[in-house]
Amino acid sequence: MNLEWEQVVVDSADPAALGRWWADALGWVVVDDADDEYEIRPSPDRLPGLLFVPVPDPRAVKNRLHLDFRPDDQEAEVARLLALGARRADVGQGEQSWVVLADPEGNEFCVLRART
């Protein structure tokens, strides 16, 4: 049996706006910008992607799933993401080597330090 990871579905108030933000943050391309979904991928034929879909309910609690990113330069990447519109988030992590940020709709993700 072959199981291929196609995408992660992200509930959002404004799929197009949030999808564009993540496309800019990741340097990915838009592969679907329909009214009811907005999908981005690393390239048109590369998986997995992120699929943003509309939901009427606002996010109410901490994410049950979040993404971790490991850049070459954590400090520079955090500054870049903050400039794009991310914000620092406190999920009770305390002092750690990673930085927790939230996208414009409040979805948390972590920026790890570079591998040694």
- Residue 81 has a pLDDT of 98
Residue 32's alpha-carbon distances to 43, 83, 88, 100, in angstroms, are 12, 26, 29, 29
Q: What is the pLDDT of residues 42-91, one digit of tens each?
A: 999 999 999 999 998 887 777 788 899 999 999 999 999 999 999 999 87
- Residue 89 has a pLDDT of 92
Superfamily covering domain 1-56:
2,3-Dihydroxybiphenyl 1,2-Dioxygenase, domain 1 (3.10.180.10)
**Which residues partner with 108 through β-bridges?**
102
CB of 100 within 8 A of CB of 93? yes
- Residue 7 has a pLDDT of 95
Number of C-beta neighbours around residue 67 at 10 A:
16
Question: What CATH number does the domain located at 63-116 have?
Answer: 3.10.180.10
Q: What is the pLDDT of residues 33-42, one digit of tens each?
A: 998 899 999 9
Q: Which residue has the higher pLDDT, 99 or 57?
A: 99
Domain boundaries, the chain: 1-56, 63-116
What's this model's pTM, rounded to 2 decimal places?
0.89
- Tokens 């291929």, located at residue: 4
- Tokens 């998986």, located at residue: 47
| Topology alike, domains 1-56 and 63-116 | yes
